Amino acid sequence: MSSTDQYLDYSSRDDRLSGGTRRIPVDTPAGRFTVWTKRIGNNPHLKMLSLHGGPGATHEYLEAFDSYLPAAGVEYYYYDQLGSGFSDRPDEPSLWDLARFVDEVEQVRRALGLTRDNFVLYGQSWGGILAMEYALSHQEHLKGLVISNMMASAPAYTEYAERVLMPAMDRAVLAEVQAMEAAGDTENPRYMELLMSSYYAEHTLRMPAAEWPDPVQRGFAGINRDIYVRMQGPSEMGMSPEATLAKWDRVADLHRIEVPTLVIGARHDTMDPAHMEMMAGLLPRGRYLHCPNGSHLAMYDDQETYFAGLVEFLNVLR
């Protein structure tokens, strides 16, 4: 991941993208900005809008969709949230707020003409938080929901990292990582170097960093650290106490989401797969897809399981 002064130049790349792109105006308390979307496929009965993770990453790491969803006849939309990727990047910290992001998704839905007859919302990681919040506020517009690699409780996510994932790490590496976090030195290249070999390779994407697919490399290189640190915190293992999402918890509200919902988890995920299976049981029309060989990016390291299950769910919604 890059620091805030090393962003990729998305403005120069926007003009070189293929057809189907559209910039959508979004009204915020700080004024009007535009966000970037791209449509692929054409199916009036099944349109999936994707919410990327981060917070502050880009749609690019989700490009694994292109190998599976077109053949399945799914119309889907890539979308960079405000502050990310090809969308406007205002320097306004007050905009990095969960409720405002929910309102942004609703504005994007209206602009794209997505309705209860065709609209499936997909959210991965932080995008899963955003998808749950959207469903709790606007499920009357949804045909279906996909929550991928995200627990319904930030405190439970942090507790899982502390109780299960951290103790499995090399003790010397964990000690050095925690010392850097305590010193506020997480922008030090050494911090990410340690995590890439001992944490990311186990729980984010189970392959050597040099072999990470190009879409993942681009998605991570373009992350907006201003958004990430404000909402998630500087730590890469669980959420920091000062993060705005640190106390977010919707477990008790899952029963209110009545649309068909697929929850996707993975054995080696940064998120607790048992918790995600529990979520599916609490959702009135929930089902769980487990990726036994996958991690947080199971759409790459357990790809066949991931997309077979996702496509099967989408076909049920047709």
Instruction: Please list the active-site residues.
Output: 125, 269, 296
C-alpha to C-alpha distance for 178 and 309, rounded to whole angstroms: 37
Give the closest residue to 247 by CA, choosing from 315, 155, 179, 180: 155
Q: ∠ at Cα 77 (71, 78), nearest 5°?
A: 110
- CB < 8 Å & 24+ apart, contacts of 99-105: 99/133, 100/28, 100/29, 101/130, 101/133, 102/130, 102/133, 102/134, 102/137, 102/138, 104/26, 104/28, 104/35, 105/49, 105/51, 105/130, 105/134
Cβ atoms of 172 and 198 closer than 8 Å: no
The string of DSSP codes covering 227-271 is: HHHHHT-S-SSS--TTSTTTT-B-GGGGGG--S-EEEEEETT-SS
Residue holding tokens 């010193």? Answer: 183
* CB burial of residue 206 (10 Å; 0-12, 13-18, 19+): buried
Determine how many CB atoms are found less than 10 A away from the CB of residue 175. Answer: 11
* CB burial of residue 244 (10 Å; 0-12, 13-18, 19+): middle
Cβ atoms of 82 and 28 closer than 8 Å: yes
CA dihedral 283, 285, 289, 290 (to 10 degrees): 40
Cβ atoms of 263 and 289 closer than 8 Å: yes
